[in-house]
Amino acid sequence: MTPDDRDGTGGDDDRDGTGDAAPDPDPRVRPARPPDADRIRELQSHLRRPSPDLLEYGLVVGTALVSVADGRVVGYLLPVDAPNRPGLHVAELVVAPDHRREGRASGLLAAVVAGADGPVTLQAHPENDAAIALYEGVGFEVVDRRPDAYADADALVFRRAPPDHE
């Protein structure tokens, strides 16, 4: 599963208005903890094509990141190792509808980029303007198309190098 027009993010604002990821870590973002699992599974229900097995793996190995509001998980990002190369791929990104447009997806993406040992990739449906604006707003660039990734379209593949590699 990958973020697309069914990704549950609904777009996001860039918190500092520069078009770049915020330079300081978002204090609302932290690694997922075992008690977060049920809430993350609830959030995953916002995806049209969730990957429960992949999420369970991410929870076990500790790669998932969460965004928290008032002690409650309101968003998560699930990175997975990129196949055959250094870096990470964002497999799932969800922010609860009532917490969108608060910079949470941007904060999650900034955290995964900052912690990556290589490029970070993700994909989006070409008609998901909100997701595309979000990804480009935090420094991702379209680098490829993945044919037939969706029933009705190819996927746009985005990439961003970690800050020390840009």
The alpha carbon torsion through 65, 154, 11, 110 (nearest 10 deg) reads 40
Residue 10 lies in a domain: no
Answer whether 0.75 is exceeded by the pTM.
yes
80 belongs to a structural domain: yes
Domain count, the chain: 1
Is residue 137 packed enough to be buried (19+ CB in 10 Å), middle (13-18) or exposed (0-12)?
buried
Domain containing residue 91: 29-165
Per-residue pLDDT of the chain (166 residues; tens, 9 = 90+): 444 333 444 444 433 444 444 456 788 999 999 999 999 999 999 987 889 999 999 999 889 999 999 999 999 999 998 777 788 999 999 999 999 999 999 999 999 999 888 999 999 999 999 999 999 999 999 999 999 888 899 999 999 987 765 5
Q: Flag whether 48 is in a domain.
A: yes
With respect to residue 71, please indicate whether it lies within any of the assigned structural domains.
Answer: yes
DSSP state of 23: S
Helix residue ranges, H only, 45-117: 52-61, 104-115
